[in-house]
Amino acid sequence: MKLEIEKNSLEDSVKENELKIESVGTVLEKSKHDLQIALAETETEEAELRDKREKFIVQIDKNLLSEYDKFKKVRGGYGIISISRGACGSCYYSLPPQMVIEVKRRDKLIKCPSCGIHLFYDDTE
């Protein structure tokens, strides 16, 4: 009789554990599902950003190229010229020192305020 009771109680606890496992399994499935959605969203976002970036690059290059080409035609061969002793190498306009620093930094295109040619700094000079 005592064994019978013990057996019943063990059976109960097995059933209880089975239920627990089942509910944990459900939570796990749900989490997996959520994770997949989040991953898919991240991937979509990444693809969109990559797409935008490529469009921007193409856009920038086009603008730059068209300006450069325009200048080449006007200047007869030169679209860009180096700074010579702090002055524009094309029209010899003396550039403000701040502008010379910016040209040396090379993080953006700078045009001569006098003749409009693109300037660069030639450090072999």
**Is 5 or 80 the residue whose CB approaches Zn ion more closely?**
80
Should residue 88 be labelled a site residue for Zn ion when binding is judged by CB under 5 A?
yes
> Cα separation of 109 and 59, whole Å?
15
**Is 56 or 93 the residue whose CB approaches Zn ion more closely?**
93
Among 71, 83, 90, 118, binds Zn ion (CB under 5 A): 90
Q: What distances in angstroms separate CA 103 from CA 38, 97, 120, 125, one per listed residue?
A: 45, 10, 6, 15
Site for Zn ion in 94-123 (CB under 5 A): 112, 114-115
How many residues line the site for Zn ion (CB under 5 A)?
7
Among 26, 53, 74, 93, binds Zn ion (CB under 5 A): 93
Label residues 83-111 b or e (16+ Cβ within 10 Å = b).
Answer: beeebbbbeeeebeeebbebbeeeeeebb
Q: Would you tell me which residues interact with Zn ion (CB under 5 A)? A: 88, 90-91, 93, 112, 114-115
